[in-house]
Amino acid sequence: MSNVTHYLPVLKNPLLLRSPWSRLQKRFLGRPTSFPDYFQNPIFRKEDQAKLIENSELSKLAAVPVRPPAVYETSSVYHDPLVNKVINHVMEMGKKKLARELVEKAFENIKRKQIERYHLASSPEEKAKIILDPKTVLHRAIANSKPLLQLSPIKRGGITYQVPGPITEKRSLFLAIKWLLEATNEKDRTIHFPEQFARELLDAASNTGKVVKRKQDLHRQCEANRAYAHYRWQ
Amino acid sequence: MSIFIKYYKSGGLNVAFSNKIWRYNSTSADMAINKGEEEEEFRVLDILKKRQRQQRRVNRRADVQPDRADRMPTDQNWGNVWPGPKTFHPSSVPLPLRQGYVPKGQAPPGKKANAELMKIPNFLHLTPPVIKAQCEAIKQFCTEWPKLLNSEEAIENHYPVEIITSDYCHASPSIRNPLARIVTLRVKLSTLKLDQHARDKFIRLVGERYDPETDLVTITADRCPIRKQNQDYVNYLLTACYHESWNFEEWEREKMEEDMEYYNWDKNPSKRSLVNWYLKTQNQSKELSDEEYSNYDVSQIPNGEEYKVAVSSYMNDGESEGTVEKYGEAVRKLLGLPQKKVVS
Amino acid sequence: MISRSWRNLCRRYSQTVTFRTTESSPSQHNEKQIGLFYSVNHDLCKQLFAYGGLPKSFAKQTKTFTETAIMVRQPALDLIDCIKASDFNKPVIRYVMYGEKGSGKSLTLAHLLHYAYEEGYLIVHVPWVSEFLRRVPRHKEMSNSQTREGFVDLPLDVAAWLLHFKTQNQVLLKNTELKISRDYVWSKRESTVAGSPLSQLVEHGINRVKYACDVLDALVYEIKQLSNSKQCKTFVAIDGFNGFFCPLTRLHTPTKKKVKPEEVTLTGSFLELAKNDWSNGVVVVTADQLALPDDHQDSYLPRYLLYKKGFELLDPFVPIEVGRYTDKEFLSCASYYRDRLWLRGPPEIETELKFTSACNPYKFMEQCAPL
């Protein structure tokens, strides 16, 4: 665990400096799209636009062709690229509307549960500890369930060893969201997805529950296999 | 000895074949040389017969004249060059036309031997100077446009019936188009002399063809192959509907309340309920007959007239926010309730 | 319990809240309180709305907010003024509430029920007509009516409704001056004698589910008699009245024939109540798009929803429009949600939500849910 170094994401485009999550939004699709590659991504957040005006780089961007923003890219106060990513992972068969409704209902469930807990809590200190904002709960849950190392299978001398190694930010985020969704889908037939998802998120945010256990198991396994770490460079 | 080897190739000249046959029909002197050759090496079996391919000799005329178009003066009378409709002839047209499918990396095909240009009808016989000359020739047979028909209203007053036809021109050798037979007749219903029953009957007969917003009756005919026939048919339809709508049939007496095209408040249960309500407020509960209901004078009931007007407009003018509000106001006045307060 | 008093303590010392009013009696509400929330007592809520009356989404909100708060709005005040100004010797006046989906008709009706309860009316409240006619679980308890040929009964539904009626009018039914005027013979051994109290009739209907629909008919007749003779004043509230005039219901007989609303006994009973041949009462009815099947939901205006039959039955009625939130009401609602911890974030949210929800109360509530 002590050998792990975190790499800060090196931002190629200094314009998209809003948050680490805005790097998720590159929109370079492998398939041919309506807009050729030399088109720039749109800057739709008011803060980013204000920054452009400050740096007086707006005139440069105004002369360059720009792609139009997608439907989920809003300048609203509630825009969160992580929430959009989670909705995309929940989505199956391209049913974005359904995926969004499920995630929104899950947020509603989280809110109701937390408000109930808030009202039942007796002292102001306890009340202050309860997070009422579902987006914050989501962020915390994902942060708590992100693994810091991963095991890669490396074959040496006929035996496949599980070798611990570094993990990129992207993969780590992907694994966190995937584990959360897998845990949710192991639900009972009679329980609805939003309810189960809300439960998983709340558990993960408080460092309990299936997903965090899975991450901790992975870390333990990595620790146990640290002898094989040099197999990465043979 | 002679060996006959016959090759049947498409379009090939027989000159080469006879050469071949001649070779095998050689004299004895050549035969000795050939035999000597044959003894040394094998004959090469020419399976693919590549040597047979010769250049196709195109027979071109050596004395081709330059185009007539190159020698045309620019101030000639074009009407004499192209007097009538004619298929496109590239050498007679002094224009550098390029038309047709453009293969990649090349220019559009030129006018010589261009099937596309030849397929389509051209209007080179109808250039503006030619048309002008034709108009001048026809003018002696024409009269002037009447001076008093100078506005749309005047035209509508004197000539209310409009006949609309369409002519077509498309990429084909023929100028005939089956769509050209369609004839539409448009007339405003207010110009026809109809009383209320006749108007209602006319609208029911004509059905979908009447547009209440613009008050236009549009009758379209395309069932005959010729435009003139369709025109006659359309005129016939208009006349027939007009005269039929003035006729009164016996079975029209059986028109029920549901068939009425407008709402007549007197004959409807709305009046009945109002009268009943009023009688109850006066503490008289009588059972009036149908005629008494319709003959009951509404002006006895305070605010009754206003209510009647409101209900009639609610039903006849369609339902919208405005009519509902008016109805609400009228009912409140009738029942003695305070009006709705407008909160800013 | 401790948390609630702590919260009340906090509230007393907090800043003046501009979205609440302390006036909890609807008869005292006036224009000064438009846009402000008043909370209904918890026990009263249970008594009036135990078996329906509040929309399901609103009931969930009451659980989260730990209180039932209704906004005082202009249509409700308008209706209360009209009721106060109306003459109870004349035949009953019918009011039809109409509006878009989610604009607050059922909650206005709840507000008026509270008012009626305070003023001591006998409440006849049908929470949602489509529950009877369009909610068909796997097996719907239906039977052919014995007293009327060819009619269909819904015994369990009517018995449940009689229980609801009893809970709402507990207080009035306890005072035994409300007596029945004629005999009702149910079978050889069971009968209700003239002069017995109304509560006995209702009890009989609840206990003997088989005769529930006939009890309902009898009850309607008795209520009319009692109102005419000035022994009690009646408040009839029916939500989704236009459901009675649909061409077809979702019910079907054992022979798979579809049932029309006129062939159901309880339709007849409630339509009798909505007629204006009795006096000393108020009839408030809502015309709701959701009570009809999806293909007839083009407009929210009353004549379209009530069909010809309904219009002729109710004419002349007073149409009352329940519209969207005004700016003041919207801000008040937003601050109430913030207070109840339902909405949080910077103030720009208000402008955004006003635009996306178009000030429609239900849509606003829906859109605040995940935020």
Say whether both A128 and A186 belong to one domain.
Answer: yes
Of A210-224, B40-54, C43-57, C244-258, minimum mean pLDDT range: B40-54
Of A230-234, B39-43, C1-5, C197-201, minimum mean pLDDT range: C1-5
Chain B within 8 Å of C315 (Cβ-Cβ)?
Answer: yes
Mean pLDDT, chain B, rounded, equals 82
Complete DSSP assignment for C274-335: HSSSSBSEEEEEEE-GGGS-GGG-S---HHHHHHHHHHHHH-SEEEEE-----HHHHHHHHH
H/E element holding B221?
A: strand B216-221
Chain C CB contacts of B281 below 8 Å: 90-91
Of B145-154, B298-307, B318-327, C65-74, minimum mean pLDDT range: B298-307
Q: Is the pLDDT of residue A2 over 90?
A: no
Q: Do A111 and C346 touch (CB under 8 A)?
A: no
More confident residue, C316 or B296: C316
**CA B228 to CA B181: how far, in whole Å?**
8
Chain C CB contacts of A78 below 8 Å: 345, 349, 352, 371
Closest partner CB to C370 (pick from A77, A120, A134) = A134
Could you report the per-residue pLDDT of B250-303, keeping only the tens digit for each?
988 888 777 777 777 777 788 888 888 887 877 766 666 666 666 677 777 778
Mean pLDDT, chain C, rounded, equals 86
Tokens read off for B225:
């192959």
Chain B CB contacts of C87 below 8 Å: 336
**CA A27 to CA B219: how far, in whole Å?**
56
Say whether both A60 and A90 belong to one domain.
Answer: no
Say whether both A140 and A163 belong to one domain.
Answer: yes
Residue that terminates a domain, selected from A63, A79, A95: A79
pLDDT at B21: 46
Say whether both A3 and A31 belong to one domain.
Answer: yes
Number of Cβ within a 10 Å radius of residue C91? 20
pLDDT at B149: 87
Complete DSSP assignment for A64-94: S-BPPPPTT---STT--HHHHHHHHHH--TT
Mutation target to probe the C interface, by most C beta carbons within 10 A, among B276, B285, B343, B344 is B343
Confidence class for position B22, pLDDT limits 50, 70, 90: very low
Tokens read off for B11:
């379009």
Q: Is the pLDDT of residue B83 over 60?
A: yes
Q: How many CA atoms lie within 13 A of B316 on its CB side?
A: 12
Q: Is the pLDDT of residue C86 over 70?
A: yes
pLDDT at C34: 87
3-state secondary structure B243-295: HHHHCCCHHHHHCCHHHCCCCCHHHCHHHHHHHHHHHHHCCCCCCCCHHHHHH
* Percentage of chain C modeled with pLDDT above 90: 24
Say whether both A93 and A75 belong to one domain.
Answer: no
Mutation target to probe the A interface, by most A beta carbons within 10 A, among C337, C341, C348, C353 is C341
Could you report the per-residue pLDDT of B193-211, keeping only the tens digit for each?
999 899 999 999 999 999 9
Of A70-79, A136-145, B169-178, minimum mean pLDDT range: B169-178
Residue that terminates a domain, selected from A47, A63, A79: A79
Say whether both A57 and A126 belong to one domain.
Answer: no
pLDDT at C5: 54
- The stretch B71-88 carries a mean pLDDT of 92
Q: Do C370 and A107 touch (CB under 8 A)?
A: yes
ipTM higher than threshold 0.95: no
More confident residue, C367 or A56: C367
- Smallest CA-to-CA distance from B185 within B217, B213, B211 is with B217
Say whether both A40 and A117 belong to one domain.
Answer: no
Class of domain B153-254 as given by CATH: alpha beta
Chain B within 8 Å of C116 (Cβ-Cβ)?
Answer: no
Say whether both A73 and A106 belong to one domain.
Answer: no
Say whether both A129 and A191 belong to one domain.
Answer: yes
Q: Is the pLDDT of residue B30 over 60?
A: no
Chain A CB contacts of C2 below 8 Å: 122
Chain C CB contacts of B319 below 8 Å: 299, 301, 303-304
- The stretch A185-210 carries a mean pLDDT of 95
Say whether both A21 and A47 belong to one domain.
Answer: yes
Mutation target to probe the A interface, by most A beta carbons within 10 A, among C64, C338, C356 is C64
Could you report the per-residue pLDDT of C204-260, keeping only the tens digit for each?
888 888 888 888 988 999 898 888 888 888 999 999 898 888 888 888 888 888 888
Q: Is the pLDDT of residue A67 over 90?
A: no
Residue A67 domain boundaries: 1-79
Provide the domain count of chain A.
Answer: 2
- The stretch C298-306 carries a mean pLDDT of 87
Helix count (H) and strand count (E) of chain C? 15, 11
Say whether both A218 and A122 belong to one domain.
Answer: yes
pLDDT at B247: 92
- Each domain of chain B, given as residue ranges in start order, spans 14-52, 81-144, 153-254, 262-335
- The stretch B174-178 carries a mean pLDDT of 84
What is the least distance, in Å, from the CA of B253 to any CA of chain C?
A: 24
| pTM, rounded to two decimals | 0.75
Say whether both A116 and A185 belong to one domain.
Answer: yes
- The stretch A205-223 carries a mean pLDDT of 95
Could you report the per-residue pLDDT of A18-37, keeping only the tens digit for each?
455 555 455 666 555 788 77
pLDDT at B12: 46
Cα distances from B286 to residues B156, B280, B293, in angstroms, run: 57, 9, 11
- Chains touching B (at least 3 CB pairs under 8 A) are C
